[in-house]
Structure 1
């Protein structure tokens, strides 16, 4: 999957996303479980919006992402906001930074972009290897309910003067997977003309029990599983599942 064109409209489309909810979740879990320090790794950091909020809260943030374009935007934002971010282009399934962290995060359902079970398992192993003892691993995923009942065979649209899109969702090749076909119409400010940009994004999720099994095998203690920013155990209709894990 390539984010080359998508990266430049990503922040516009994500302007209503609950970054404050993720920030509050991270701060709450770090305090509740007495994370020993504030040295953290934000995996799949995208354009750096959450990473920058964390840096403002006093975390020493390293961000990694597969997209060079996303990282360029994240660096530009860091300079504009006078924040320090260390940024690296890395694949989470092949993560190798040669350093340990107090806290590692993978948010905004980024783990769901790994289509192969082996890559999810390797990501968990890599995160464990990069965590200090008793460090926390926090992440979220789309629920099976969201994949099967919200996304599957659905169409979403948005019309705006700057960016419009048609978003079609189809069954993927794997169980609990979806292919997102996105067609964007992006207005050029100088010419006023609209450019058509097409993207195909593939996502796959797993039942909570399967993810727990892989986490335990990777050496984690699963401290909490919650749903939809509530801090409560997930219900059958929660769309986003949060995991709080500690390195044993």
Structure 2
């Protein structure tokens, strides 16, 4: 999907997203599983907020996203922070030509934007091709509980000085999927009038066991499954599930 105008308002709308928690997760898993290399691929990097924080921490990071608008914002932000980062406009299920990395991550529930099982499997296959031997694959997804209980048939709203939105969630076409209908209003300071923009975002998730099966069948060894930024096992009301996998050794 493309984000259009939404890309340029994304950071303001997502100002409370705890990117530092993802950064902590990455660093902890790298230390736990003995990954000394710092070459990292940030898939579905969006406006590059986490990508840039990783660069601040000394990672040799590459960002990939499907949206050229998102990447334009990311590049501008990185340049302002003094980082000369490489960003590539690619579909993560068709990833190609970027070399190999010590760590590959898909964060902020970005994997949930893939709408078919085949796309998820293809993404895992492309990640396997781009991760170094015994390198780490890290990702997080919405839980089935979150999609069906905290999203479907719910409405959320935000009222800021320059931007406001109404966010309505409807049951999606597939099991454990949701359609996010976003209507947001942005103040044009030149005219002192609000412009309206509409976005439709589709997300789908699967049971933990299904992700585990796909990781195994594509060549990964599952190392860790945790929940909600805590180093603890998921439970029935966990909202965000974190996976840590390693490229399986070949005989």
> Please, what TM-score do these two structures have when normalized by structure 2?
0.98
Alignment deviations for residues 12-36 of structure 1 (CA, whole Å, 9 cap, x no partner)? 0111101000000000001110114
Query: 1:1-248 maps to which residues of 2 (within 5 A)?
Result: 1-248=1-248
Unaligned runs of 5+ in 1: none
RMSD: 0.7
Tell me how far 1:97 sits from its aligned partner.
2.1
Name the SS of the counterpart of 1:149 in structure 2: helix
Q: Distance in 1 between matches of 2:88 and 2:100?
A: 15
1:55 touches 1:84 (CA, 8 Å); kept in 2? no
Q: Distance in 2 between matches of 1:210 and 1:136?
A: 19
Tell me how far 1:160 sits from its aligned partner.
1.3
Q: Distance in 1 between matches of 2:236 and 2:35?
A: 31
Name the SS of the counterpart of 1:22 in structure 2: helix
Unaligned runs of 5+ in 2: none
- Structure 1's consecutive aligned runs of 4 or more residues displaced over 6 angstroms after TM superposition are none
Q: Distance in 2 between matches of 1:49 and 1:126?
A: 24
Tell me how far 1:54 sits from its aligned partner.
0.4
Q: Distance in 2 between matches of 1:84 and 1:222?
A: 33
Tell me how far 1:84 sits from its aligned partner.
2.5
Tell me how far 1:235 sits from its aligned partner.
1.2
